Amino acid sequence: MQNISEETVRAVIGRYGDMVMRIAYQNTRDRAESEDIAQEVFLTLFLRPLPKSEEHLKAWLIRVTINKSRNVIKSARRKVLPLDERIAPPSSWERPSEAEVLEALFALPHDERNALYLFYYEGYSAKEIGKLLRRSENAIYILLSRARKRFRIIWEEEDET
Amino acid sequence: MKPEEYKKALSAVALGEEEEERLAAAVIKKLEKKRQKKRIVRRVLVPVFSAAVLCVVAVPLAIAWAPAGAPAGSEPDHSDPPFSEEDPPAEDVLPEEPEAFSCVYEAGGVRLCFGFDLNEIK
């Protein structure tokens, strides 16, 4: 186990904490669980030799967060909360439309959600997303295309309502 | 929906300053706990287990290698035969009967026969 200073821990969490939190939240839809997942991810990171480059570190964090989120979702001990509590909006939201976007996002399957996030938010290419999610580039293009269609349909449905 | 709206919505999902500090403190605390556990294992448990293993292995070995004691009832024979620089006679030349020797010592089931009187040695 390497000796990591508190400054390094704070620096890494400051830089990537939000990203890990977002990935965990859009998979689990539960803020408290997302914080737990973030804690586990960073603990796992600091118990092993740190990746040598920023790119590798970021890719590692994304992969591990997605995997841990999946484990939590599969876990039988997952609490069953009323729907309103699970997608309760964070207090920092400014406009109700942000809550609507997230609600539409949560209606998508996990893989499509993750692919959308990595493509539009983190700016990864389909090839890079394929490496992260262990899928082919074509599979990622298909995921993105489906996600956009579904998102548009859900968004338009919500607009109508 | 535009990608900008999507990004804006997701940007709202973030750790606040307090939450970030709480997360960092929790991770640091857990790391320190793991380090302490490792220290205890290295400084206390490893020497204790090593000593226990040594005892388990070394004691029987020491018992096995200890010199065998003399049989009960016989006294130790302190009369050491003199060291002779002459070549010992060949076995086929040695007479077999002890009566042929001038000096015969016997102790503990061992008989030493000499062709000279040990008392003559000064």
Q: What is the pLDDT of residue B110?
A: 83
Q: Is B48 on the interface with A (CB under 8 A)?
A: no
The verdict on a CB contact (< 8 Å) between B31 and A47 is yes
Q: Predicted confidence band at B89 (pLDDT cuts at 50, 70, 90)?
A: low
Distance CA A4, CA B63 (A): 50
Average pLDDT over residues A107-124: 90
pLDDT, mean of residues A90-114 = 72
B/e letters for A138-157, b = 16+ CB within 10 Å, e = fewer, are ebbbebbebbbebbeebbee
Q: Which residues of A touch B1 (CB under 8 A)?
A: 101, 104, 151-152, 155
Judge whether B25 and A31 are in contact, CB under 8 Å. Answer: no
Query: What share of chain B has pLDDT > 90, as a percent?
Result: 11
- What SS3 class is residue B104? strand
Q: Within a 13 Å sphere around the CA of A123, how many CA atoms are in the beta-carbon half?
A: 3
Q: Which of A157, A151, A63 is nearest to A112 (CA)?
A: A151
Mean pLDDT (whole number) for A108-132: 91
pLDDT at position A50 over 70 = yes
Cα separations in angstroms, A70 against A62, A73, B25, B44, B55: 12, 5, 25, 39, 50
Under DSSP, is residue B110 helix (H, G, I), strand (E, B) or coil?
strand
In this prediction, the answer to ipTM > 0.95 reads no
Average confidence (pLDDT) over A23-51:
91
| pTM of this structure | 0.65
Pick the CATH number of A93-161 from 1.10.10.10, 1.10.3260.10, 1.10.3720.10, 3.40.50.2000: 1.10.10.10
H-helix or E-strand spanning residue B105: strand B103-107
Query: Looking at CA atoms only, how far is residue A14 from chain B in angstroms?
Result: 7
Contact B66, B77 (CB under 8 A): no
3-state SS record for chain A: CCCCCHHHHHHHHHHHHHHHHHHHHHHHCCHHHHHHHHHHHHHHHHCCCCCCCHHHHHHHHHHHHHHHHHHHHHCCCCCCCCHHHHCCCCCCCCCHHHHHHHHHHHCCCHHHHHHHHHHHHCCCCHHHHHHHHCCCHHHHHHHHHHHHHHHHHHHHHHHHC
pLDDT the model gives residue A93: 41
Q: pLDDT value at position B84?
A: 54
Q: What are the structure tokens assigned to B59, written together?
A: 């004691």
| Rg of chain B taking only CA atoms, in angstroms | 42
In this structure, what are the phi and psi dihedrals at residue A130, rounded to the nearest 5 degrees? -60, -40
Q: How far apart are CA A73 and CA A25, in angstroms?
A: 11
Domain boundaries along the sequence of chain A: 1-84, 93-161
Tell me the residue length of chain A: 161
- Taking the C-alpha atoms of residue B80 and residue B74, their distance in angstroms, rounded to an integer, is 16
CATH code of the region A1-84? 1.10.1740
Question: Which chain B residues are closer than 8 Å to A92 by Cβ?
Answer: 12, 14, 16
Inspect the interface and report whether the beta carbons of B20 and A13 lie closer than 8 Å: yes
Asked if A21 and B15 come within 8 Å (Cβ–Cβ), the reply is: yes
Q: What pLDDT score was predicted for residue A103?
A: 79
